[in-house]
Amino acid sequence: MKKHKFLKKIIILTMLLGGFANSAPVITSSSTAEAATKVKTKKKTTKKSTQKKTKIKVDSNRKKKNRAVKFVKKTTKNQIPTASIFIYINQNDPNYQTVQDAIKAWNATKVIKFKQAFNYQKAQIIVTAHDYGDTSWAGLTEIPDTPRGYLYGSVVYLNNFYLRQSTPQVALSVAEHELGHAIGLQHNDTQPSVMNSSVTEQNAYTIQPCDIAAVKAIYNEK
């Protein structure tokens, strides 16, 4: 009799435990669902951060007045201001050709003459490109006030973080813009100009008549 009561207790206990197991929360599944939610959220965030920007701020230059740059000199032959450029970019990088095209575009205006240098120590302008991350600029130009070491001119930095997300037309506009800074031009947001402080795919201006006039004015060209 005692045996039967003991067995009965075991059976009841087993049933209770089984029922508890069925009704208990599955912690592993809950954690997995939570982890999946986090991953999903993370993916959404990543996707959002890598979306193409429709408007790019070219740089943060705040100078307002165009001014001649000391290293840009007029040649005695044709009186066109001239400067040498060293392109410190791998030739397989699309930016190399973009800078070449920007040089050709400025030279076609006949108000400035850029000559490509193949020795950085003899260059007055050095152009380089790198992924500088999500900064506030797609291009940046530094112009030292006085000669320093081998460099007596400007350094142009192109930010691949933005340019690789952009169209070739936007990249060309940025390159022409920075070369404009390198020879003394400042931002012009009063009219369509390559020196506009920001650029979009719809308004990626290349060199305009007002930019040509600005170069003529600061270098006293006729």
Is residue 192, in this structure, part of any structural domain at all? yes
Task: Determine contact, residues 141/153, Cβ cutoff 8 Å.
Answer: no
- Residues 163-183: what's their mean pLDDT? 94
- Residues 28-47: what's their mean pLDDT? 31
CATH number, domain containing residue 209: 3.40.390.10
- What pLDDT is recorded for position 152? 57
Which of these, 119, 123, 125, lies nearest to 102 by C-alpha position? 125
What global pTM score does this model have?
0.69
Is residue 26, in this structure, part of any structural domain at all? no
Could you tell me whether strands 154-159 and 139-142 are parallel, antiparallel, or unpaired per DSSP bridges? Answer: antiparallel
Tell me: the pLDDT tens digits for 108-117?
Answer: 999 999 999 9
Tell me: the pLDDT tens digits for 66-79?
Answer: 766 666 766 556 67
Is residue 106, in this structure, part of any structural domain at all? yes
Task: Determine contact, residues 157/55, Cβ cutoff 8 Å.
Answer: no
Query: Residue 133 phi/psi, 5° resolution?
Result: 85, -170
- CA 207, distance to chain mean position in Å, is 20
Is residue 143, in this structure, part of any structural domain at all? yes
CA angle 173, 177, 182 (to 5 degrees): 150
User: Structural domain tally of the chain?
Assistant: 1
Is residue 41, in this structure, part of any structural domain at all? no
- The CA distance from 50 to 214, in Å, is 37
Query: Residue 163 phi/psi, 5° resolution?
Result: -65, -35
Task: Determine contact, residues 70/147, Cβ cutoff 8 Å.
Answer: no
Instruction: Tell me the pLDDT band of 153, cut-offs 50, 70 and 90.
Output: confident
- Residues 1-16: what's their mean pLDDT? 46
Instruction: Tell me the pLDDT band of 55, cut-offs 50, 70 and 90.
Output: low
Range of the domain at 194: 56-218
Per the structure block, which two tokens stand in for 205? 């201006």
Is residue 39, in this structure, part of any structural domain at all? no
Is residue 206, in this structure, part of any structural domain at all? yes
Tell me: the pLDDT tens digits for 180-207?
Answer: 999 989 999 999 999 999 998 888 999 9
Name beta bridge partners: 200.
55
Is residue 22, in this structure, part of any structural domain at all? no
Which of these, 109, 110, 108, 112, lies nearest to 125 by C-alpha position? 112
The DSSP line for 186-220 is ----SSS-TT-SEEESTT-----HHHHHHHHHHTT
Tell me: the pLDDT tens digits for 116-137?
Answer: 999 988 899 999 999 999 988 9
